Structure 1
Amino acid sequence: MFEAAIASAQPALRIPAFLPPPPAGRLLVIGAGKASAEMAKAVEEHWPGELSGLVVTRYGYGAPCSRIEIVEAAHPVPDAAGLAAAGRMLERVQGLAADDLVLCLISGGGSALLPLPLPGLTLEDKQQVNRALLRSGASITEMNCVRRHLSAIKGGRLAAACHPARVVNLLISDVPGDNPIDIASGPTVGDPTTCADALAIVRRYGLDLPPAVLDLLHSGRGESVKPDDPRLAGVSTHIVAAPQQALEAAAQVAAAHGLPAYILGDAIEGEARDVGRVMAGIARQVAERGQPFAPPCVLLSGGETTVTVRGHGRGGRNVEFLLALAVALQGHPRIHALAGDTDGVDGLEEIAGAVLAPDSLARAYAQGRRAADALADNDGHGFFGALGDAVVTGPTRTNVNDFRAILVL
């Protein structure tokens, strides 16, 4: 099911149907995200005419392109390579004409891959902000609101720089609700949020940010490009792949094996450990009471949970979810689960996620490990790795957020 979810969101499958007609002028391809290089490859393979461009992706997520330059940079904490690529991208869209077309390929991960700060801020400031946000427990919507108001390229600024050329956005969504402004912090769509909204998030989570960042937000100098800005009149946006489609592909696999699958939601948020406990309660009700569904069945869900980091472990929101699920289920004999990030990276590790079996806790105890201790230390990868239950996909070159499947027999 996990493999089917990833396959359903591959750019080669999703991009061709959304390509626009050739423009009278030039076609310039730009983009950012973990799927952007593979998206660029799909464009090159199906575009009938001339094109050029520049996209930036995560290290290891490149794809062979001959006419579109592919730059690799760091994620989730940005680096100098991403900074340089973002500056060059902004330069590439200068001086376009009204009959030119900009094809913008955006997927999850683009926020960190386009770390171009506003005047007065440095890359080090942006790195500190990203680290603080990643540890805070803030939702992706909240994190990207802050990022947009510190950026010289996000929050519609890249689209405004493309004016008067037309812009067609092709987006692979990795965010709950599929709101384009939250995918890579919306570099080519208008932003209805404000500096005041960003400051409220900073206060809500007690973020310790550099003085220059706080000064910029207080001054209002970080205000983004709003949806009614006339420079965005020629922008059109299409979601080419999304979490719901991936969950439906997984459900088809379950059905093919004679198992009914129920999608509980494609936009579930909250602390990963809280979601794990709630899902454990639902799975138990199915197993023991036959409510709200009769076993055997599969419970599917997607979205993006968060982790408030308190320990010193190797993290990962999907493995944190599984640890909480394991603690709550206590080795229930008829419940199995898998949780993983469809981009192949859960947290900072090159590990997509893990599987949980009825005997996982017993095997851990035999090694002197307790799931509750690992959960307290945010060490999901350490726990499941020691059991040999990690799920490693390598770069998937797509990103439709988290995937969770609970099999109740």
Structure 2
Amino acid sequence: MTAPTDARAFLRALFDTAVARAQPAQVLAPYLPPPPRGRTVVVGAGKAAASMAAAVDALWPADAPLQGLVVTRYGHVPPGLPQPQARIAVLEAAHPVPDAAGQQAATRIAAQVAGLGPDDLVLALISGGGSALLAQPAPGITLADKQALNQALLASGASIDEMNCVRKHLSALKGGRLAALAAPARVVSLLISDVPGDDPAVIASGPTVPDPSTCQNALAICQRYQLPLPAAAHAGLASGAFETPKPGDARFQGHAVHLIATPQHSLEAAAALARAQGVAAHILSDAIEGESRDVGKVHAALARQVARQGQPVTRPCVLLSGGETTVTLGTPGAHPRGRGGRASEFLLSCALALQGEPGVYALAADTDGIDGVEDNAGALITPDTLARAQALGLSATDHLARHDAYSFFAALGDLVVTGPTFTNVNDFRALYLPG
């Protein structure tokens, strides 16, 4: 079988296939429990919450009672969702920095699970982004406090595990507290993972699962990254007053947790498509973390080794990876800050490291369709990316220094724009080396 000759179309097809594998309507059905003797209440939060709710509503028996409420990011409600007639209401709020709408949604979600009994069932639909969307602060902490801390966390370079450790200890619902509020009802959590390692306690800061991390862990993270902590937050962490429910807590007995879509699932789907088209596919990892520009350099080095030495694999091939990289903004004022997310920054660094290496093409994008806070999912690079940029008077080095990869790729016409995909299994990266 001949490998694809249109590298751009091939890479885009791989990305679209990865996203399709994570669509709730395609994967949720096998994990739905039967209706209980009592009530069924659906709650949820995340970038995929609305599409997950739509899938549950469509699959749940028409004659079985169903009610609930989920919150998703602004603009992440699928077109045609039957609102307000649907049995599960959908609210929208801000991400990645929480807003008042997220706080109000969290209050209403908490009310949904109050007063349930042992014959009742809670279906918790949790996906990436849920941490910011469930914005109910711990006692004594204001929404403004949480907003400032979230902004500081996002700029700090902290890993997603570290960020969510802090978030859950300063929350009224995260870190297992939502499930604790639902006791003694049974909770079945259906999760779409956007975190390296797929730890349910990390996905959306684990609102329905026990939390093994501690207040002291959260405080140490804040100190490590010199994060500004309000007095009430520091006191609650230092004293242990903000401790979360731990593994072994009786309130979680009989609960179930199912990962219905993960980064690995999506990478495997993309790999299967590549192989069906005669291209050897190699999944490097589904859990790569680190600075986007550093990860870009490493991927470039791997691609160059394949291109020049035929090691450790030979052409035609595609190298696939997932995970969640970070972009550390550094000292304010050091450079004028531009536009761009971690996928586009990865690619700009990768292009600089490749220096026009013949026969290497790459796509990087966020599977939720939004790279950072921009309107693109990611971008593409080709062997002539730097040459085309130079012809336009663009300096790749300067754009990278000021975190302005969006403007760089927009000028080249190489942004990947999908709009919200209504799911989220985090970063997708593919480097294609035709034969």
TM-score (norm 2): 0.93
Q: Quick check: 1:30 aligned with 2:40?
A: no
Deviations 1:63-113 (A, max 9, x none): 414110100111111111110000111111110010000000000000010
- Counterparts of 1:300 and 1:210 in 2: how far apart (Å)? 42
Letter in 1 for 2:53: A
Report the equivalent of 2:9: none
Report the equivalent of 2:225: 205
Following superposition, the deviation at residue 295 of structure 1 comes to 1.2
CA contact (8 A) 1:165 1:234 kept: no
Report the equivalent of 2:395: 370
Report the equivalent of 1:301: 321
- Counterparts of 2:417 and 2:117 in 1: how far apart (Å)? 45
- Identity score, percent: 63
Report the equivalent of 1:189: 209
2:149 is paired with a residue of what secondary structure?
A: helix
Pick the aligned partner of 1:270 from 285, 290, 294.
290
CA contact (8 A) 1:316 1:347 kept: yes
Following superposition, the deviation at residue 212 of structure 1 comes to 3.0
The within-5 A match list for 1:189-338 is 189-310=209-330, 311=335, 312-338=337-363
Pick the aligned partner of 2:369 from 339, 344, 353.
344
- Counterparts of 1:210 and 1:372 in 2: how far apart (Å)? 38
- Counterparts of 2:229 and 2:304 in 1: how far apart (Å)? 43
1:187 is paired with a residue of what secondary structure?
A: coil
Deviations 1:289-336 (A, max 9, x none): 000001121000000001101341113011111011011001112100
Following superposition, the deviation at residue 234 of structure 1 comes to 2.7
CA contact (8 A) 1:100 1:166 kept: yes
- Counterparts of 2:429 and 2:326 in 1: how far apart (Å)? 14
CA contact (8 A) 1:247 1:302 kept: yes
User: Kindly tell me: are residues 399 and 92 of structure 1, through their superposed partners in 2, closer, same or farther at Cα, counting changes over 3 Å?
Assistant: same
Q: Quick check: 1:78 aligned with 2:98?
A: yes
- Counterparts of 1:233 and 1:146 in 2: how far apart (Å)? 25
Aligned positions, number:
409
Pick the aligned partner of 1:17 from 19, 25, 30.
30
1:252 is paired with a residue of what secondary structure?
A: helix
- Counterparts of 1:210 and 1:346 in 2: how far apart (Å)? 30
- Counterparts of 2:176 and 2:163 in 1: how far apart (Å)? 16
- Counterparts of 1:166 and 1:207 in 2: how far apart (Å)? 37
Letter in 2 for 1:246: S
Report the equivalent of 1:62: 77
> Structure 1 regions of 5+ residues with no counterpart?
none
> Structure 2 regions of 5+ residues with no counterpart?
1-13
1:86 is paired with a residue of what secondary structure?
A: helix
- Counterparts of 2:99 and 2:67 in 1: how far apart (Å)? 25
Letter in 1 for 2:205: S
Instruction: Please list every run of at least 4 consecutive aligned residues from structure 1 whose deviation after the TM superposition is greater than 2 angstroms.
Output: 208-216
1:164 is paired with a residue of what secondary structure?
A: coil
Following superposition, the deviation at residue 213 of structure 1 comes to 2.4
Following superposition, the deviation at residue 141 of structure 1 comes to 0.5
Report the equivalent of 1:102: 122
- Counterparts of 2:224 and 2:411 in 1: how far apart (Å)? 37
Following superposition, the deviation at residue 210 of structure 1 comes to 2.9
Deviations 1:334-389 (A, max 9, x none): 10000000000111112100000111111111121111111111111111111111
Following superposition, the deviation at residue 208 of structure 1 comes to 2.6
The within-5 A match list for 1:166-181 is 166-181=186-201
- Counterparts of 1:206 and 1:285 in 2: how far apart (Å)? 39
Deviations 1:111-143 (A, max 9, x none): 010010011001101101110010011110000
2:282 is paired with a residue of what secondary structure?
A: strand
Report the equivalent of 1:46: 59
Deviations 1:386-408 (A, max 9, x none): 11111111110000110000011
- Counterparts of 1:244 and 1:289 in 2: how far apart (Å)? 28
- Counterparts of 2:233 and 2:394 in 1: how far apart (Å)? 42
Following superposition, the deviation at residue 255 of structure 1 comes to 1.2
TM-score (norm 1): 0.99
Following superposition, the deviation at residue 2 of structure 1 comes to 0.2
2:201 is paired with a residue of what secondary structure?
A: helix
1:239 is paired with a residue of what secondary structure?
A: strand
